[in-house]
Amino acid sequence: MADLFDPAPTGAPLPDANRPLADRIRPARLADVVGQGKVLGPEGPLGAMLGSGSLSSLILWGPPGVGKTTIARLLAQQTDLAFVQISAIFSGVPELRKVFEAARLRRQQGRGTLLFVDEIHRFNKAQQDSFLPLMEDGTIVLVGATTENPSFELNAALLSRAQVIVLERLSLADLELLAQRAEHEAGRALPLTGEARERLLEMADGDGRAALNLIEQVMAWKVKDKLTTDQLAQRLMRRAAKYDKSGDEHYNLISALHKSVRGSDPDAALYWFSRMLEGGEDPRYLARRITRMAVEDIGLADPAAQRHCLDAWALYERLGSPEGELALAQAVIYLALAPKSNAGYAAYKGARALARQSGSQMPPAHILNAPTGLMKDQGYGAGYQYDHDAEDAFSGQDYFPEGMKRPVLYLPVERGFERDLKKRVEWFAGLRQKRRSEGKT
């Protein structure tokens, strides 16, 4: 229902035939929204909220084309709030002031406002803070939409006043339901074979709006027979996978690659490696990250893993793309199948923590060089035992600061080469204890 404060219409509405398909079959009820049953169902956060007769401010977080705008419109409709939509891309302080003033006037008339802010993460801190007073006094119910992680992109103050609702990427079954609705609206079936129909929906990559746009293109073709998969591929380019090299998807995929390597699953590791390449990731970034995996998750269980990664990196630099990417792929396989140990990584982190805690304690005097007479008088070097002169070339002396309890930082595992290192650690520990009991240290 329009009111005095709604923007004036810019012209007569388009006839149905001229409206985009996605707009013509836009759901009229929340129950008709596809793919978001977890949040809209009776036990879901939005379903429960509406069931209780209250609606708080929300942040709708999810990929493109999953219904964020539609849900916001229907929430306003179901709660009888005036729906106002702005985009953070095109709105600045002057536009916000006008929207806020209109909401205040509307409230004086006894009606609330649901303010839908698309791409809300693009507002800066001051702009995000400007919503807070109106949210607190009930002038607006804010519904923000974002494709980026709110934890990183939105102010803590804003997040504390709004519930984050996570919307999911649409499944093939969800997209098939959209296709059936589109066919019902058009009054005819898609001119595609079953396999080609599935390929068309795969091209949408979980994006409902993209699926409807593709369907609309196919519906517009004047073809007599059903098109095959190959014929469809000739007419439509496959949609590029969603991948932002500086956004959430970047970090999600590199996390998936790292954990697949750590989990010794070469197939999954290759899949995520390939997903990043297909998304346009710089192979040099991947070369650096897989080398890091070799250091962190394999370590001394297979010292050759680090060398293998460096060689693959060098091969990529010599060959370039796409030939050099095969060398990186082989390194990924090697890492996934290598014995795993983070003992060196854990020992390093433990040593850094101990170094921060212990401050600037001096090394014990007996292992300090004494190039001057004054330093000799201070006891530097006194009592030092040259290990090569000792039995087994091992003196067993203490090399930690005086008074510090000897820590155990490196705990090698019973896998790969570290199995041998574990034997050496235990042998030296036993010999050190023997030297001390003999009073030789």
What residue type is assigned to position 101 of the chain? E
d(Cα 136, Cα 154) in Å, to the nearest integer? 17
- Write down the pLDDT at residue 22: 86
Same domain, 276 and 386: no
Task: Say if residues 33 and 70 touch (Cβ distance below 8 Å).
Answer: yes
Same domain, 65 and 162: yes
Residue 196 in domain: yes
Boundary-marking domain end, from 135, 166, 197: 166
Same domain, 279 and 194: no
d(Cα 212, Cα 200) in Å, to the nearest integer? 10
CATH assignment at residue 299 = 1.20.272.10
Of 338, 324, 330, the C-alpha closest to 296 is 338
CATH assignment at residue 161 = 3.40.50.300
Task: Say if residues 46 and 163 touch (Cβ distance below 8 Å).
Answer: no
Boundary-marking domain end, from 113, 145, 166: 166
Residue 2 in domain: no
Q: What is the pTM of this model?
A: 0.68
Task: Say if residues 165 and 45 touch (Cβ distance below 8 Å).
Answer: yes
Residue 3 in domain: no
Residue 120 in domain: yes
Residue 230 in domain: yes
Same domain, 150 and 27: yes
Same domain, 142 and 28: yes
User: Can you tell me which residue has the tokens 């999911």?
Assistant: 168
Note every long-range contact of 419-424, with CB atoms under 8 Å and residues 24 or more positions apart, other chains counting: 421/300
Same domain, 318 and 200: no
Written as tens digits, the pLDDT of the chain (441 aa) is 445 455 545 455 555 657 888 889 999 999 999 999 999 998 899 999 998 888 999 999 999 999 999 999 999 999 999 999 999 988 888 999 999 999 999 999 999 999 999 999 999 999 999 999 999 999 999 999 999 889 888 999 999 999 999 999 999 999 999 999 999 998 999 999 999 999 999 989 899 999 999 999 999 988 889 999 989 988 887 655 565 655 677 888 999 999 999 999 999 999 999 999 988 889 999 999 999 999 999 999 999 999 999 999 999 999 998 899 999 999 999 999 999 999 999 999 999 999 998 888 888 888 888 888 887 878 888 888 888 988 889 988 988 998 899 999 999 999 999 999 999 999 999 999 988 888 766
Residue 188 in domain: yes
Range of the domain at 184: 172-241
Same domain, 41 and 129: yes
Residue 351 in domain: no
Residue 262: Cβ within 10 Å count: 17
Same domain, 323 and 432: no
Same domain, 86 and 222: no
- Write down the pLDDT at residue 420: 94
State the DSSP H helix or E strand holding residue 164, giving kind and residue range, or none if neither.
Answer: strand 163-166
- Write down the pLDDT at residue 8: 47
Same domain, 25 and 161: yes
Same domain, 76 and 149: yes
Same domain, 194 and 274: no
Residue 14 in domain: no
Number of domains the chain is built from: 4
Pairing of strands 58-61, 163-166: parallel
